[in-house]
């Protein structure tokens, strides 16, 4: 058992919120455990032996509320102090990354150095307090944690700036790095003209639920319309996912076969064959399967999940040998594995795909933050950078899809859980509660980090415009009325600066055809000073 003391206003916390809490084992995967708060302590009853780290949503002062973790800790009778262990892990991350990235030669007056030294001093002080004055230890370590988090974010941005400049100087940027997702219901000429002039590619969803709402019937009209526009405008497109077991993607009639794998497999085969055969002369990049490893809605076992992955990718390659195949990972931090043992941890799934010789061209990673559901709790920039670095070993390009909301996602926007209980609306936030301003700063920081990684081939925002069925509410670059948000100008400006640095001419959108805000006009956000992401 692991036990962590928590305090509130100088006394043991009586009503301490426990959000997105799970344990992480020595291999980096989530482990099963019963986690609760009792009498001012977080109690973790593990179901496996060995050391473990606690990850949970925790306040971090000016850095916001973030999902962060402790170091791997052995079981012991004496309780740990939560903030001391959170600060310990963050300081360990700071020094490990300074060594890994060969950045120990930072000047003494560099912001990262100063903040790292201050966080270390406070952490040492908290260690001196923890035996006799646990409340002081808790509060001092909380301050150390906030400063150490800030230092690691600045380090991640400083490192990404160096790598991005090197990538530009060596001419190793991809030809079409910045894209955006669309909603097939938004058939609007001005919207499309803005997309074509402001992004390098689009992500065109092809949800099975929309294409075949009834068994044996297909509705192609909207998808045909978009594919025809893609072909005529010569706008590169990534189509899919073709297969995803998320409720928003799956037709209701397929649930009849959820316990009959052979029949479900035949249905999947027929659907993929039908779609690819229809569009193979106009679509050349396919997101074939998305999130099969999460396996949260069907009862397939490990072998069946791998069989579906292999079968669908082989089928697409057979039907379109010159097409590119993506396999997309959802919930890439893998917390779902702590409660669903039928699932596969994301990195294990990625490794199994590579080691099994499955023929595919790139990994997709779907990274959404800002909604209090599994996989979308807020994390800091260093965790984003570390997550991407883990894919270096697979020697495959990465296509990253990201999004964050422009306002806090309220209870009204969140669906009920499987038990019928409302889902906690507090997903955490980055530096300030989510707003258009925070969304735009977060976008710029994450894009810089992702674009600096030499194996990241493309970065796409989840969807251009808000709509009622969007996966992350308020996560679009335009409002439902197609009014631009600050994040839209940021991404268009980022793309133009990226291409200008690479010596590529990127014409501004034509006035008569653009959607308002798609042109890189000046940022109209007020009060940027001393606000979220000021250091970017």
Burial class (CB in 10 A: 0-12, 13-18, 19+), 48: exposed
User: What DSSP line would sit under 3-33, residue for residue?
Assistant: EEE-EETTEE-SS----S-EEE-TTSSEE-E
Pairing of strands 456-461, 398-403: parallel
Measured between alpha carbons, how far is 394 from 349 in angstroms, rounded to an integer? 12
Q: Is 352 domain-assigned?
A: yes
Point out the least confidently predicted range of 13-22, 182-191, 252-261.
252-261
CA-based nearest residue to 252, from 296, 223, 214, 291: 214
Mean pLDDT of 69-83: 94
Q: What is the pTM of this model?
A: 0.90
The confidence score (pLDDT) of residue 300 equals 86
Sign of the CA dihedral running 175, 178, 182, 187: negative
Point out the least confidently predicted range of 142-156, 254-268, 444-458.
254-268
* Whole-number average pLDDT of the chain: 87
Which range of residues forms the domain containing residue 293?
174-501
Asked if residue 532 has pLDDT above 60, the reply is: no
509 neighbors 516 (Cβ within 8 angstroms)? no
Residues 346 and 489 both lie in one domain:
yes
The confidence score (pLDDT) of residue 413 equals 53
Q: Is 293 domain-assigned?
A: yes
pLDDT band per the 50, 70, 90 thresholds, residue 533: very low
Residues 184 and 302 both lie in one domain:
yes
CATH number of the domain at 482, please.
Answer: 3.20.20.80
Residues 238 and 283 both lie in one domain:
yes
Sign of the CA dihedral running 89, 93, 94, 96: positive
Residues 486 and 452 both lie in one domain:
yes
Asked if residue 379 has pLDDT above 70, the reply is: yes
Residues 138 and 201 both lie in one domain:
no
The confidence score (pLDDT) of residue 10 equals 83
Mean pLDDT of 349-355: 94
The confidence score (pLDDT) of residue 5 equals 93
Q: Is 296 domain-assigned?
A: yes
Last-in-domain residue among 120, 136, 162: 162
The confidence score (pLDDT) of residue 528 equals 40
The confidence score (pLDDT) of residue 181 equals 94
Asked if residue 175 has pLDDT above 60, the reply is: yes
Q: Is 514 domain-assigned?
A: no
The confidence score (pLDDT) of residue 417 equals 42
Mean pLDDT of 23-29: 93
Residues 157 and 10 both lie in one domain:
yes
Summarize pLDDT for 460-516 with one digit per residue, the tens: 999 999 999 899 999 999 999 999 999 999 999 999 888 876 555 444 443 333 333
Summarize pLDDT for 184-210 with one digit per residue, the tens: 988 888 888 888 889 999 999 999 998
The confidence score (pLDDT) of residue 523 equals 43
The confidence score (pLDDT) of residue 430 equals 95
Residues 347 and 442 both lie in one domain:
yes
Residues 204 and 88 both lie in one domain:
no
Q: Is 290 domain-assigned?
A: yes
The confidence score (pLDDT) of residue 507 equals 44
Q: Is 506 domain-assigned?
A: no
Residues 180 and 144 both lie in one domain:
no
Last-in-domain residue among 105, 138, 162: 162
Mean pLDDT of 52-62: 94
User: What count of residues does the chain have?
Assistant: 536
Q: Which long-range contacts (CB under 8 A, 24 or more apart) does 34-42 make?
A: 37/6, 37/13, 39/12, 40/5, 40/6, 40/7, 40/11, 40/12, 40/13, 40/14, 40/16, 41/3, 41/4, 41/5, 41/6, 41/12, 41/79, 42/3, 42/4, 42/6, 42/16, 42/18, 42/82
Residues 183 and 155 both lie in one domain:
no
pLDDT band per the 50, 70, 90 thresholds, residue 525: very low
Residues 97 and 182 both lie in one domain:
no
Q: Is 168 domain-assigned?
A: no
Summarize pLDDT for 229-247 with one digit per residue, the tens: 999 999 999 998 999 988 8
Measured between alpha carbons, how far is 73 from 84 in angstroms, rounded to an integer? 12
Q: Is 536 domain-assigned?
A: no
Percent of the chain past pLDDT 70, that is, above it, reads 90
Percent of the chain past pLDDT 90, that is, above it, reads 67
The confidence score (pLDDT) of residue 518 equals 39
Burial class (CB in 10 A: 0-12, 13-18, 19+), 105: exposed
Asked if residue 390 has pLDDT above 80, the reply is: yes
Summarize pLDDT for 262-313 with one digit per residue, the tens: 998 999 999 999 999 999 999 999 999 999 999 877 778 889 999 999 999 9
Asked if residue 26 has pLDDT above 80, the reply is: yes
Q: How many domains does the chain divide into?
A: 2
Residues 180 and 158 both lie in one domain:
no
pLDDT band per the 50, 70, 90 thresholds, residue 414: low
Asked if residue 106 has pLDDT above 90, the reply is: no
The confidence score (pLDDT) of residue 11 equals 87
Last-in-domain residue among 113, 129, 162: 162
Site of tokens 């009622």: 468
């Amino acid at each position: 058992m692991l036990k962590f003391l928590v305090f509130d206003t100088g006394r043991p916390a009586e009503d301490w919120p426990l959000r997105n809490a799970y344990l992480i084992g020595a291999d980096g995967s989530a482990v099963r455990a019963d986690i609760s708060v009792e009498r001012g302590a977080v109690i973790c009853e593990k179901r496996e032996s060995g050391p473990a780290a606690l990850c949970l949503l925790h306040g971090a002062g000016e850095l916001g509320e973030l999902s962060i973790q402790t170091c791997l800790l052995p079981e012991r009778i004496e309780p740990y102090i939560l903030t001391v262990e959170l600060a310990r892990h963050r300081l360990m991350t700071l020094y490990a990354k300074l060594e890994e990235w060969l950045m120990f030669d930072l000047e003494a007056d560099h912001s990262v150095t100063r903040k790292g030294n201050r966080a270390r001093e406070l952490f040492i002080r908290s260690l001196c307090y923890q035996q006799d004055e646990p409340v002081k230890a808790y509060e001092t370590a909380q301050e150390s944690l906030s400063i150490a988090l800030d230092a690691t974010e600045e380090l991640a941005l400083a490192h990404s700036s160096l790598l991005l400049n090197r990538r530009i100087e060596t001419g190793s940027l991809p030809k079409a790095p910045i894209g955006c997702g669309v909603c097939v219901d938004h058939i609007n000429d001005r919207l499309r003209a803005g997309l074509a002039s402001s992004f390098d590619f689009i992500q065109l969803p092809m949800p099975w639920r929309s294409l075949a709402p009834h068994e044996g019937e297909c509705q192609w009209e909207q998808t045909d319309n978009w594919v025809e526009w893609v072909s005529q405008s010569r706008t590169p497109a990534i189509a899919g996912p073709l297969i995803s077991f998320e409720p928003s993607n799956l037709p209701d009639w397929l649930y009849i076969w959820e316990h009959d794998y052979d029949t479900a497999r035949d249905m999947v085969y027929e659907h993929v064959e039908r779609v690819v055969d229809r569009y193979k002369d106009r679509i050349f990049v396919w997101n074939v399967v998305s999130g099969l490893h999460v396996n949260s809605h069907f009862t397939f076992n490990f072998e069946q999940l791998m069989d579906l992955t292999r079968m669908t990718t082989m089928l697409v390659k057979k039907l379109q040998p010159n097409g590119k195949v993506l396999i997309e990972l959802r919930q890439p931090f893998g917390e779902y594995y702590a409660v669903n043992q039928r699932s596969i941890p994301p990195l294990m799934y990625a490794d199994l795909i590579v080691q099994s010789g499955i023929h595919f061209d790139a990994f997709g990673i779907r990274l959404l933050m800002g909604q209090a559901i599994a996989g979308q709790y807020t994390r800091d920039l260093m965790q984003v950078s570390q997550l991407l670095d883990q894919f270096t070993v697979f020697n495959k390009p990465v296509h990253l899809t990201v999004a964050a909301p422009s306002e806090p996602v309220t209870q009204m926007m969140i669906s009920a859980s499987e038990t019928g209980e409302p889902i906690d609306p507090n997903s955490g936030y980055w530096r300030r509660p989510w707003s258009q301003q925070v969304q735009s700063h977060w976008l710029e920081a994450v894009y810089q980090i992702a674009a600096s990684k030499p194996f990241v081939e493309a970065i796409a925002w989840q969807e251009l415009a808000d709509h009622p069925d969007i996966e992350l509410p308020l996560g679009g670059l335009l409002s439902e009325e197609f009014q631009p948000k600050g994040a839209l100008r940021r991404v268009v400006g980022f793309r133009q600066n990226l291409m200008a640095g690479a010596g590529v001419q990127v014409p501004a959108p034509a006035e008569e055809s653009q959607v308002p805000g798609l042109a890189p006009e000046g940022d109209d956000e007020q009060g940027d000073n001393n606000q979220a992401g000021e250091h970017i």
